[in-house]
Amino acid sequence: MSGVFITGTDTDCGKTLVSLGLMAAWQARGERVLGMKPVASGCDLSPSGLCNADALRLLAKGSHAAPYELINPYAFAPPIAPHIAARQAGIEIAAGPIARAYRALAAECDRVVVEGVGGWRVPLSPRLSVSDLPGILDLPVILVVGLKLGCINHALLTAESIRARGCTLAGWVGNGVDPRMQAGEENLATLGELIEAPCLGVIPWLEHPTPERLTGLLNPFV
C-alpha cells in the first residue's frame, strides 16, 4: 500500500492531527512519507500564493521537501465549502490535477497520507465529491471519528457510505474533541462493536497535541 486517504465524521474532527500522527509513526519505522491535502479552503495569502495552514503542516512533516502545489493543488481563500469557494473563484475542481499531483508525490516516497476536506460527502464540484477521491487514487480509507455527543450516528453513516461507494475502510481512529464528553468509554465500545473495521487508535483530548505524542497511540497497521 503506497498511500491512505484520511476522512472524518465532520469538519474539525482531527483529520490533520491523525494524518500527522500516522506520518510520524511510519517515519519512526524508517519509511519516507509525504502528506497531501488536495483541496483546502480558508487559505492565507503568502508571497508564493494562497497557502492552507493544515497543508503547510503536512508539508513540514514530510520526509523531504515537496512543491506546495503538489501538496495542495486547489487552495481557496474563503473559509467556506470548497465547491462554493471554487465557484466564486471561477474554478471547477477536477480529478485530473489531483491524481497527477498524487502520482508525483507517490513516486518520491514510500507512502502518501492524503487528507480530505470537511466530511466524507462534501461536494467539490457538480461532478466530484470528497467520496470520489479514494476510488480515483485507488486508496483505502481511514475514518477519523470526532468523539463527542452524536459521534455514533455520524460514524456509522460515514462507514456505511464508504462501503456503499466501493471503498475499503481500513480502520477508524477515535479522536477526543470534547473534554466534557460523557460516557466516553461506552461510546467507544459501541463504535468498536458496530463499525466493521479495526480501531487503529484512540486519542484522548489533548490540550497541546503533537504528531510525536500520537505515535504510541496509533497503530499504522501495515
Question: Is the residue at 219 inside a domain?
Answer: no
CATH code (residue 14): 3.40.50.300
Question: Is the residue at 221 inside a domain?
Answer: no
Question: Is the residue at 220 inside a domain?
Answer: no
Domain that residue 172 falls in: 3-214
Question: Is the residue at 103 inside a domain?
Answer: yes
Question: Is the residue at 222 inside a domain?
Answer: no
Residues near 194 by Cβ (< 8 Å), separated by ≥ 6? 152, 156
Question: Is the residue at 61 inside a domain?
Answer: yes
Question: Is the residue at 160 inside a domain?
Answer: yes
DSSP codes, 37-68 = -SEEES-EEETTEEE-HHHHHHHHHSSS---H
User: Could you tell me if 102 and 112 are in contact, meaning their C-beta atoms sit under 8 angstroms apart?
Assistant: yes
Active-site residue, 148 included: no
Between the alpha carbon of residue 47 and those of residues 51, 70, 78, 107, the distances in Å are 10, 17, 18, 28
Q: What is the pLDDT of residues 161-191, one digit of tens each?
A: 999 999 999 999 999 999 999 999 999 999 9
Domain count, the chain: 1
Instruction: Tell me which DSSP letter residue 218 carries.
Output: B
Question: Is the residue at 196 inside a domain?
Answer: yes
What pTM was estimated for this model as a whole?
0.95
Q: Phi and psi (nearest 5°) for 203? A: -105, 115
The single residue of 15, 37, 61, 148 carrying the catalytic annotation is 37
Q: Please report, in tens digits, the pLDDT of each residue of the chain (222 residues total).
A: 589 999 999 998 999 999 999 999 999 999 999 999 999 999 999 988 999 999 999 999 999 999 999 999 999 999 999 999 999 999 999 999 999 999 999 999 999 999 999 999 999 999 999 999 999 999 999 999 999 999 999 999 999 999 999 999 999 999 999 999 999 999 999 999 999 999 999 999 988 888 888 877 887 664
Beta strand segments in 108-194, E: 111-115, 123-125, 128-129, 141-147, 169-176
